């Protein structure tokens, strides 16, 4: 790990300048509050992000001069917005909570807390059970139900904006529930205008 000035030191020093987005007279107080509550993660659990040399910092950067995030990045820190990220309750790695593209899907689930897919790997059976027999919810992460004994009944259902994309999970569920138990919906693809999903069941 790189040694050098701490993020807290750099941020406190930066407060001699006006912030990028000064809202009201109390910006300095708010900035100090951000520094006092600064949260750190030691790594990303979100795919597609490069591991910084030092920790990933979460704050509302609007309360700081815009140059300070460049200085922190050069010092080896990762910079993220605190309202768009959370941390895995198990391993403490950083997880995005708000989409950064139309096709984004979370890399964590809520199961008594935020849990990343790495921590859930091989052990997602109990979580999947919580999604069963509910057409208003669906598995929307990269977990393969087949690894947990589920059998796919049908895929390529489409629900969305375009003509013919009218597959309705409630109707599908109603048509299957007498024949199968432990039915699970899985979202396979999302885009700006539609969702592609499949339906699974567990034979036990
Ligand atoms: Zn984790």
**56-59 and 39-41: which strand pairing?**
antiparallel
| Dist. CA 115 → ligand 1 center (Å) | 5
| Dist. CA 86 → ligand 1 center (Å) | 11
Q: C-alpha angle with apex 159: 183 to 147, nearest 5 degrees?
A: 35
* CB neighbour list of residue 81: distance below 8 Å, 6 or more residues apart: 58, 59, 60, 61
Instruction: Specify the pLDDT at position 66.
Output: 82
**56-59 and 78-81: which strand pairing?**
parallel
Instruction: Specify the pLDDT at position 1.
Output: 45
| Dist. CA 133 → ligand 1 center (Å) | 27
Instruction: Specify the pLDDT at position 143.
Output: 93
* Per-position pLDDT tens, the chain of length 204: 445 679 999 999 988 877 767 666 788 888 999 999 999 999 999 999 999 999 999 999 988 988 899 999 999 999 999 999 999 999 999 999 999 888 898 999 999 999 999 999 888 999 999 999 999 999 999 899 999 999 999 999 999 988 889 999 999 999 999 999 999 999 999 988 999 999 999 998
**What are the residues whose beta carbon lies below 5 Å from ligand 1 (ion)?**
88, 90-91, 116, 119
């Amino acid at each position: 790990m790189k040694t050098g000035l701490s993020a807290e030191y750099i941020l406190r020093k930066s407060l001699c300048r006006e912030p990028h987005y000064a809202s009201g007279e109390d910006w300095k107080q708010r900035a100090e509050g951000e520094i006092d509550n600064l949260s750190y993660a030691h790594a990303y659990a979100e795919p597609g992000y490069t591991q910084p040399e030092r920790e990933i910092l979460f704050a509302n950067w609007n309360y700081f001069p815009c140059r300070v995030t460049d200085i922190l990045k050069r010092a080896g820190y990762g910079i993220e917005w605190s309202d768009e990220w959370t941390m895995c309750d198990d391993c403490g790695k950083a997880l995005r909570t708000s989409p950064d593209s139309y096709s984004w899907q979370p890399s964590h689930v809520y199961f008594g807390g935020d849990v990343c897919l790495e921590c859930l790997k091989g052990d997602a059976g109990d979580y999947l059970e919580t999604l069963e027999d509910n057409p208003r919810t669906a598995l929307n992460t990269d977990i393969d139900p087949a690894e947990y004994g589920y059998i796919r009944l049908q895929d390529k259902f489409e629900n969305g904006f375009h003509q013919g994309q009218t597959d309705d999970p409630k109707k599908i569920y109603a048509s299957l529930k007498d024949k199968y138990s432990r039915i699970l919906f899985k979202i396979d693809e999302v885009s700006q205008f539609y969702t592609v999903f499949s339906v699974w069941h567990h034979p036990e």
